[in-house]
Amino acid sequence: MTQMHSDGDHIGAPMASLGPMVPVVSPRAADTDPRQDILGLAREDLRMALLAIGVPDRQANMRAKQIWQWVYHRGVTDFEAMSNVAKDVRARLTEHFRISRPEIVDAQYSSDGTRKYLLRFGDGTEAEAVYIPDEDRGTLCISSQVGCTLNCRFCHTGTMKLVRNLTPGEIVAQMMVARDDLGEWPASTDNRRVTNIVMMGMGEPLYNFDHVKKALQIVMDKEGIQLSRRRITLSTAGVVPMMLRCGQEIGVNLAVSLHAVNNETRDEIVPLNRKYRLEQLMEACAAYPGTHNARRITFEYVMLKGVNDSDADARDLVRLLTRYKLPAKVNLIPFNPWPGSPYECSDWDRIERFSDLVFKAGISAPIRTPRGRDIMAACGQLKSTSEKKRKSETLREQAALAQI
């Protein structure tokens, strides 16, 4: 996860602080609305839920399909608007279910078209999603956790404590909020504004595997949001044991937060490297299902002045990718500073030289234009600004403590 990714401040922390392989989900405080939220329910789960409220078996499949279409193709949040659903069924749906949206605490629009949303969920925790428009696409960067355990040192998110994993519904809801804001309803293939998804927001998606998988299956479902897996990228800091499952069970594109070409430097920048070494990570990349020259793995590489940006680093990067025969593309990310960050961005001519060296070896290494810098939405800058201004920090602390 690292388009928006960045790093934390616990670099000297012992290995134990890196967290378990799949962190335990901390309990959510109860929502005040007791009705079940149908966002994030798989179609089969919705069918079962309909049976449980007395929808006849012979109708349940059709009703689930109708409801999904209203929800994911039309953005409807009120069952009463579902005109092809029988009136008595609508009443029962309203009694038992809801179709929720997180509260938009803050929406910032950058001069370059980037939009950043600070969202508050039912228990008061908050996470961010960022929409980045380009000429031929609109990419939504989605968070998978509130906070992050990994403390990558260049990452602002990494300075937050992990509060909890987001639920499938909360992950899908980030897309729904963006589509509401962008006026994408009724959705059709012609008017899509969110054409791509990157799981690169707050959190390590492979530490919340089950929920991310469930959410992405809804996003890919032909009756759901209908986004092709080729348009979805999951970015990991290198949770090696989960990478194969990600390829086999979700099948989306893979991005890896690499950022260094030897263990010594990577140990510092991405502390998870102390647990899963660079060689293991490269082997897991080589084994990732479905990669070939037309579907390459993206390696994110943040340019840090005097840390990982030398000519020797560029040559070692080429050697590393070649040694493991990886169909690779490297994204060079000029470091986006944030208050208190321990690094500086490499000089521009250094970044260009680095890019040239990698390009000349036959590996694509574009320099990613920083987006949304003016609203702190760029790579590595995500951190709920609410932290400073809201008492939800207290809630986070409590939740983090409850988790230990």
- When binding is defined by CB under 6 A, the residue of 75, 138, 158, 224 that contacts ligand SF4 is 158
CB of 227 to ligand SF4, least distance (A): 22
Which pair of structure tokens corresponds to residue 378? 């760029």
Q: Sign of the C-alpha dihedral, residues 202, 71, 64, 89?
A: positive
- Stretch of 3-11, 83-91, 109-117, 335-343 lying at the interface with ligand SF4 (CB under 6 A): 3-11
Q: Bridge-partner residues for 257, per DSSP?
A: 300
Kindly state whether residue 157 participates in binding ligand SF4, applying the rule CB under 6 A: yes
- Taking the least distance from each CB to ligand SF4, the nearer of 4 and 320 is 4
- When binding is defined by CB under 6 A, the residue of 3, 5, 110, 211 that contacts ligand SF4 is 5
Tell me which residues in 58-87 interact with ligand SF4 (CB under 6 A): none
Catalytic residue among 128, 170, 184, 268: 128
- Helix, strand, or coil (residue 356): helix
CB of 261 to ligand SF4, least distance (A): 17
Q: Is 126 a catalytic residue?
A: no
- Nearest alpha-carbon partner for 239 in 220, 253, 250, 255: 255
CB of 155 to ligand SF4, least distance (A): 3
- Nearest alpha-carbon partner for 300 in 269, 264, 341, 268: 269
- Taking the least distance from each CB to ligand SF4, the nearer of 8 and 334 is 8
- When binding is defined by CB under 6 A, the residue of 119, 173, 202, 376 that contacts ligand SF4 is 202
CA distance 268 to 265: 5
Kindly state whether residue 152 participates in binding ligand SF4, applying the rule CB under 6 A: yes
Which pair of structure tokens corresponds to residue 263? 């263990």
* Contacts for 14 with CB less than 8 Å, ≥ 6 apart: none
Could you please report the per-residue DSSP string of 216-285? HHHHH-TTTT---GGGEEEEES--HHHHHHIIIII--EEEEE---SSHHHHHHHSGGGGTS-HHHHHHHH
- Stretch of 40-48, 146-154, 307-315, 338-346 lying at the interface with ligand SF4 (CB under 6 A): 146-154
Q: Which residue has the tokens 């987001």?
A: 166
CB of 149 to ligand SF4, least distance (A): 7
Cβ atoms of 202 and 146 closer than 8 Å: yes
Kindly state whether residue 184 participates in binding ligand SF4, applying the rule CB under 6 A: no
Site mask for ligand SF4 (CB under 6 A), range 229-268, x = bound: --------x-------------------x-----------
- Stretch of 24-32, 33-41, 63-71, 148-156 lying at the interface with ligand SF4 (CB under 6 A): 148-156
Kindly state whether residue 150 participates in binding ligand SF4, applying the rule CB under 6 A: yes
- Taking the least distance from each CB to ligand SF4, the nearer of 7 and 123 is 7
Catalytic residue among 148, 268, 379, 397: 379
CB of 156 to ligand SF4, least distance (A): 8
Q: Which residue has the tokens 């388009």?
A: 3
Which pair of structure tokens corresponds to residue 251? 């099948």
Kindly state whether residue 155 participates in binding ligand SF4, applying the rule CB under 6 A: yes
- Stretch of 107-115, 151-159, 214-222, 240-248 lying at the interface with ligand SF4 (CB under 6 A): 151-159
What amino acid occupies position 350? R
Q: Is 103 a catalytic residue?
A: no
Q: Which residue has the tokens 């070649």?
A: 322
Kindly state whether residue 227 participates in binding ligand SF4, applying the rule CB under 6 A: no
Site size toward ligand SF4, by CB under 6 A? 18
Kindly state whether residue 6 participates in binding ligand SF4, applying the rule CB under 6 A: yes
- Nearest alpha-carbon partner for 67 in 224, 228, 216, 226: 224
Kindly state whether residue 346 participates in binding ligand SF4, applying the rule CB under 6 A: no
- Taking the least distance from each CB to ligand SF4, the nearer of 152 and 234 is 152
- When binding is defined by CB under 6 A, the residue of 7, 37, 170, 268 that contacts ligand SF4 is 7
CA distance 276 to 263: 10
* Contacts for 174 with CB less than 8 Å, ≥ 6 apart: 102, 117, 119, 127, 129, 140, 142, 143, 201
Q: Sign of the C-alpha dihedral, residues 210, 239, 371, 392?
A: positive
Residues that bind ligand SF4 (CB under 6 A): 1-2, 5-8, 148, 150-152, 155, 157-158, 202-204, 237, 257
Which positions are annotated as active-site residues?
128, 379
